[in-house]
Amino acid sequence: METAIIVVFVLGYLAIAFEHTLKIDKLVPALVMMALIWAIISFFGMTVYDIDPATKSLVPNKLEKVINYFLGHTAEILIFLIGAMTIVEIIDFFNGFSTIKRLIKTKSKIKILWIICFLAFFLSAIIDNLTATIVLITILQKLLNDRNLKLWYAGMIIVAANAGGAWSPIGDITTTMLWIGKKVTPIALLKYLIIPSLVCMLIPTYVVSKYKVFQGEINPMVSTESENKFGSKILIIGLLSILFVPFFKVATGLPPYVGMMLSLAFVATIGEIYNYLLPKPANHVHHSPVHHALTKIEMPSILFFLGILMAVGGLEALGIVFEVGQTMVLTFENVDWFLFKGLDIVIFVLGFLSAAIDNVPLVAASMGMFGEAADDPLWHGIAYAAGTGGSMIIIGSAAGVVAMGMEKIDFMWYLKKIAFLAFIGYIAGFLTFIFLRDFVL
């Protein structure tokens, strides 16, 4: 029945890719795919597995425990995402992002491109690539009214944010997994990956800056928003609260969503106080900032996330992802092609797989398959490949999925316009990583 499950996954993936042609929102095939995969597993009594890190092998487990494990992992991401989105919407409630909008004085499309890409690169390393993408696309929506140009900027935000997340232990969920699993340390991760990650961002940004779409100047949006005296304050409070999350994680050892919920509670409280202090017109009806923010959350994106992550979880539970990884290792471990050693090829292919399959189970599988010591270059290569490879397909990364929901980016548009740019960035960064590893570091 594994063949049937793979067929369901492929058909669901194609339905997502051609959602505009089929006139069906992508969340529908994602949810159907999730439900059918787990239903087939349950109905036919298929064996499901966990990975035993000690023996690097698959260990049978009960279906209820395995599905609850994947649901718990998925829920952590969704709750974190909801918290980050709500904080961003509370900031927007007070027109806080107009502060950043005012700081961008230039009208040059190319200059704005470089500003946004550098912001995405460094911001994602601090507050993670998912949250950085939410913040920057929200700013983008305030800055532009040209739909086509917004799509291009959003696509480059995904590429830059994923590149920026790869060299920080809190920049991407996969690097965080490797850090928590004692496979990498922050200093070594920075040493090995900041330059390759920067190259991964710079090359596609330079190439796309030559495209016709980025020539000339933007037509700024005519703002209909009134000035809010608390806008700048709530912006600073909101961003500092998001920045607090990784520190809370390090201090307590709790998952990031716990810190995000604490930050949300704090920002919501400040928001309620500020809203109470604002002057009210005579016919004012009270609107809670947090209630207003929750109505703006992209629930279709949340449900899509649920469907795609749980569907991939089904493949991992059957050991398919693990078996693919093991086959790659056995096939390439003794290969030596110029600068590429055997495992380099495995890592390189891992980046492409992370574009098609969620990078979280791939990294989890690799942590069980390889026994190299902490800070071995292998782990840094995996961090780079899993973090940046997902940019090649829009649903290959959390940043891509959330951008897809916020800007209604078409799967095929991204594949035609951005995938090649992400590909050349990935290649350039990977070659830089190997050169630095073998000849410099």
Element (H, E) at 410: none
**d(Cα 176, Cα 200) in Å, to the nearest integer?**
20
Q: Where are the alpha helices (DSSP H) in 23-107?
A: 27-43, 63-93, 98-103
Q: pLDDT above 70 covers what percent of the chain?
A: 90
Q: Give 171's contacts (C-beta < 8 A, 6+ positions apart).
A: 124, 125, 126, 128, 129, 164, 165, 387
pLDDT (tens digit, 9 = 90+) per residue, 57-88? 778 889 999 999 889 888 888 888 888 889 98
Of 292, 267, 274, 231, nearest in space to 87 by CA:
267
Residue 342: which of 436, 439, 440, 434 has the closest Cα?
434
Distance set, CA 302 to CA 9, 79, 88 (Å): 19, 9, 16
For residues 328-334, average pLDDT: 72
3-class state of residue 211 by DSSP = coil
In tens, the pLDDT along 336-370 reads 666 667 678 888 888 888 887 767 667 766 776 67
| Alpha-carbon separation of residue 88 from 91, 220, 314, 341 (angstroms) | 5, 22, 32, 44
**Inter-residue contact 231 to 102 (CB < 8 Å):** no
Instruction: Give yes or no for a contact between 97 and 221, defined as CB atoms under 8 angstroms apart.
Output: no
Q: Quick check: helix, strand or coil at residue 341?
A: strand
Total residue count of the chain as it appears in this document: 441
Q: What is the mean pLDDT of the segment spanning 149-177?
A: 90
Question: CA–CA distance from 215 to each of 113, 144, 147, 208, 419 (Å)?
Answer: 11, 15, 16, 10, 21
At position 280, the amino acid (one-letter code) is K
| 3-state SS class at 108 | strand
**How confident is residue 121, by pLDDT bands cut at 50, 70 and 90?**
very high
Q: The tokens 């995402």 sit on which residue? A: 81
- At 291-329, the pLDDT tens digits run 888 888 878 878 888 898 898 888 888 888 777 777 777
Residue 432 has pLDDT above 90, yes or no: yes
The torsion region of residue 436 among left (phi > 0), alpha (psi -120 to 50) and beta comes to alpha
Q: Which of 235, 426, 264, 241 is nearest to 347 (CA)?
A: 426
